[in-house]
C-alpha cells in the first residue's frame, strides 16, 4: 500500500488516512490505488465494525487531484481512461465495503476528495470546511461513474448546479444541499465523531452490514424498476437466525447492555 494511505486500528474501529499533508492530501495515482486496496482489505476483516475516512492534518480531507500528474499520467484520453478506472475502483471499494463508513471532513473537501466522501455512508464536517467540484475551470469532465454517487446523494439538479457554477461553498450550504449528515463546530468535530463511531460500533454488526447492503441494492437497482430475487427477499429475515438477534431480544427483556459478537 502507498505511504500516502494509512490504516489505523482502535479495536473494532478502523481509520483510513489520506496521508499527504504537505500537499493538503492531494490525490495522486498511488493514493487512488491505496484507497481501493485499503477498503478492500477492511471489507474482508470481520472484526471491523466501522471505518472512518479522514485526511492527515487539520487543513483538508483533500483539494482534489494532484494537478502535476496531468502531464504524465492523464495527458490523453487513453491515459485518462486507465487512470479513471483506478479512481472508480477506489470509489466502489468505499461504497461496497460491508462496514459502515464515515467521512471526517475538516478544511478543504474539493474535487476527488468530495467524490470519495460522497461514497461514504455518513459525512460529518466542521463548520469551516469548504466544498466544491470546479472541474469545468480545468476543462475536465466528471465521468458517469463519478457523477453517479453524487446524483444518488443530492439529485440531478443539485449535482449540475455544483458542476455548472463550480463554486466553492461552505458547510452550512453543503448541509442544505444534502451533501452532509452533520455539521458541528470545528472544536467539537472529533468528540462528535467519537460519539458517532461509538454508537455505530455498539450496534449489531451483522445488522449494520445488512442495512448498508439493502440501501445499496435499493439505490442502485430498485429505483430503476428491478425486482428483488428470492434470495434478496429472504435475506431481509436472516437476522432472526443469528445469535446477535437472540442476544438483543434477551437484553431488552433483561434491561442490560448487549454484547454483540457478529454471529
137-171 tens-digit pLDDT = 888 888 888 899 999 999 999 999 999 999 999 99
Q: What's the mean per-residue pLDDT of the chain?
A: 89
Q: Once rounded to an integer, what is the mean pLDDT over residues 86-100? A: 95
pLDDT of residue 251: 72
Q: Once rounded to an integer, what is the mean pLDDT over residues 16-27? A: 96
Distances (CA, A) of 95 to 68, 98, 244, 247, 252: 28, 8, 25, 29, 32
Greater model confidence, 231 or 32: 32
For 67-88, the pLDDT digits (tens) are 888 778 777 888 888 888 999 9
pLDDT of residue 178: 97
Model confidence at 252: pLDDT above 80: no
pLDDT of residue 222: 52
Q: Which pLDDT band holds residue 34 (cuts at 50, 70, 90)?
A: very high
pLDDT of residue 158: 97
Amino acid at each position: 500500500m502507498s505511504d500516502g494511505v494509512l490504516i489505523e486500528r482502535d479495536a473494532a474501529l478502523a481509520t483510513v488516512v489520506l496521508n499527504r499533508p504537505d500537499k493538503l492530501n492531494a490525490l495522486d495515482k498511488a493514493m487512488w490505488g491505496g484507497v481501493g486496496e485499503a477498503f478492500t482489505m477492511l471489507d474482508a476483516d470481520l472484526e471491523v465494525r466501522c471505518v472512518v475516512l479522514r485526511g492527515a492534518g487539520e487543513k483538508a480531507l483533500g483539494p482534489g487531484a494532484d494537478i502535476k500528474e496531468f502531464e504524465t499520467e492523464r495527458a490523453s484520453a487513453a491515459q485518462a481512461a486507465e487512470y479513471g478506472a483506478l479512481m472508480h475502483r477506489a470509489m466502489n471499494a468505499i461504497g461496497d465495503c460491508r462496514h459502515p463508513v464515515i467521512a471526517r471532513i475538516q478544511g478543504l473537501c474539493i474535487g476527488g476528495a468530495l467524490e470519495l466522501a460522497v461514497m461514504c455512508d455518513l459525512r460529518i464536517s466542521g463548520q469551516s470546511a469548504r466544498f466544491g467540484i470546479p472541474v469545468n475551470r480545468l476543462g475536465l469532465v466528471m465521468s458517469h461513474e463519478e457523477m453517479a454517487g453524487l446524483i444518488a446523494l443530492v439529485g440531478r439538479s443539485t449535482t449540475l448546479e455544483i458542476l455548472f457554477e463550480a463554486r466553492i461553498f461552505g458547510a452550512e450550504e453543503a448541509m442544505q444541499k444534502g451533501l452532509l449528515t452533520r455539521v458541528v463546530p470545528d472544536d467539537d468535530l472529533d468528540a462528535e465523531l467519537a460519539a458517532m463511531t461509538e454508537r455505530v460500533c455498539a450496534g449489531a454488526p451483522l445488522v449494520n452490514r445488512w442495512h448498508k447492503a439493502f440501501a445499496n441494492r435499493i439505490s442502485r437497482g430498485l429505483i430503476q424498476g428491478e425486482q428483488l430475487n428470492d434470495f434478496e427477499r429472504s435475506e431481509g429475515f436472516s437476522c432472526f437466525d443469528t445469535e446477535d438477534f437472540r442476544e438483543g431480544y434477551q437484553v431488552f427483556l433483561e434491561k442490560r447492555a448487549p454484547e454483540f459478537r457478529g454471529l
